[in-house]
Every structure is written in C-alpha cells, then in structure tokens.
Amino acid sequence: MIRILTHVPALLSLVLAGPVCAAGPLAPAGAPADAFPKPDRPVAEIVAPRWSSESARDKAGEFTEVARAMGFAPGETVADIGAGSGYYVVRLSPLVGPGGRVLAEDVTPDYLTALETRVKDLANVTVVRGEPHDPRLPPASVDAAILVHMYHEITQPFGLLYNLAAAMHPGGRVGIVDADDIPSRHGTPPALLRCELTAAGYRETGFHPLKDGAYLAVFSAPATDRRPSPETIRPCRDGATRR
C-alpha cells in the first residue's frame, strides 16, 4: 500500500500534464466536412513541416516579398494556415508587433508540439489545432491569412475555404503561395487554384510570380452571408492535374 501511494504524485503530475500537444481549436466547429464536395483532383500527402530550408528561403527573399505583397501591418491579426515548423510565424510576430497577433494553425499534432516549443517566448503568437476542413479560428477576427506550400495537401479545400471565410474580417486578404505544378508533385496550377477559390466565393485581387517556380495568389474572402452554400459548390477539373 505504502509503495503504491509513493507513486501517486508522479502519476498525478502525468495526468495534470495533459496531452502532448496542448494546442487546441480557438472556436466551435464550423460547417462539417461531409457538407462539402471533395476536390476532383489528386491531393498530396503531408510529408514535412516545412517547404525548404529557412536559410535558402531567406536568401531568396521569400518572406520579404510575400509580406510586401500582402501588406502586413503592425497591429494586424494574421493567420498562418498550415504553419508547419513556423518559418512565417517567427517572422510575422515582430512585424505585427505587440498590438497584433499571429494565429499559427496546423492539423498535424507532432508539428504543433514542435511549433509550440519554438514560439513559447513570443507573446503575440497563438498556436491553434484545426481540422482539414476547418481552421477553427474565432469568427471575424483575422485581417489576413496565408496558406504557404500547403494548399495541395488540403483534403477538404472547399470546407476549409468556407470555414476560413467566417474567421476573416469582411474583405480580409488571403494569400496562397504554391509551386506552379500538379498536386501530386506538391503544387497547384494557378488556373485550378482560381477555379476552386472562385467556386468558394473568393475574388482574386493579385498574382505575383515568386522565385523557383512558385507564386503568390491573393484573394479577398467573401462575407459570411455571401459564401456559396456548401451544396451548391461544384469542384473543378484541370487537365494539368491528370498527368
């Protein structure tokens, strides 16, 4: 009996420590995954929490170029959807400053655990666990969102776009960075991207070629009451994805 009792504090601290990944959703669930059509094209597997090395990206000026085109400003709330290892998160944090906020969202528990460790000293960063069809962000809270080298991995793009729109301030900017390639090679052809975003009610406001065959496409999110209802959304086909 005495021996069992001596283990109680250790067991208790394990229980109190909770799950390995503490990040959770920031909002109640939006529209459910099964309300939306699946994309009519391949979806790439999630293989890594980063696109390429941070030094190579800095050398290519990726963050500077995307930040300028997106017009991020101090005081803004910026959501990084599919934040991975946090390349953008740690650069956005000083840019939006103490009056702003970075919502670092992802769906992969191991990546979220590592990201929490990386950003633990950044007071304006919140790590969020979302779902493939729903980033689970608070309604009407986000000025700008970025989805960097991850759009081709979203199993439920129409659900994610529908639920993301509810988290955006009216007219909020959504920037998508991807390689101009087919989804099975971890890219999204711009014409296919435009078709899917348009089907979800988004309006393209800018397109910027980036280095190494990538691009940034910028869209304006639809107001919540202007989103096409899930059952009316028709998926897009693109000949380029059939290769």
User: Using CB under 6 A as the criterion, which residues of the chain lie in contact with ligand SAM when the complex forms?
Assistant: 46, 48-51, 81-84, 87, 105-108, 111, 130, 132, 148-150, 153-154, 160
Q: Which has the closest alpha carbon to 174: 211, 217, 136?
A: 217
Q: Which residue is nearest to ligand SAM (CB)?
A: 84
Q: Is residue 34 classed exposed, middle or buried when 0-12, 13-18 and 19+ CB atoms within 10 A define those classes?
A: exposed
**Which lies closer to ligand SAM via its Cβ, residue 12 or residue 185?**
185
CB-wise, 151 or 201, nearer to ligand SAM?
A: 151
Residue placing its CB nearer to ligand SAM in the complex, 149 or 227: 149
Query: Which DSSP string do the residues of 6-45 spell out, in sequence order?
Result: HHHHHHHHHHHH--S---B-SS---S-GGGSPPPSS--PP
Taking the complex as a whole, how short is the minimal distance between the CB of residue 96 and ligand SAM, in angstroms?
17
User: Taking the complex as a whole, how short is the minimal distance between the CB of residue 17 and ligand SAM, in angstroms?
Assistant: 24
Q: Taking the complex as a whole, how short is the minimal distance between the CB of residue 92 and ligand SAM, in angstroms?
A: 12
Taking the least distance from each CB to ligand SAM, the nearer of 130 and 187 is: 130
Q: Cβ neighbours of residue 8 under 8 Å, at least 6 residues apart?
A: none
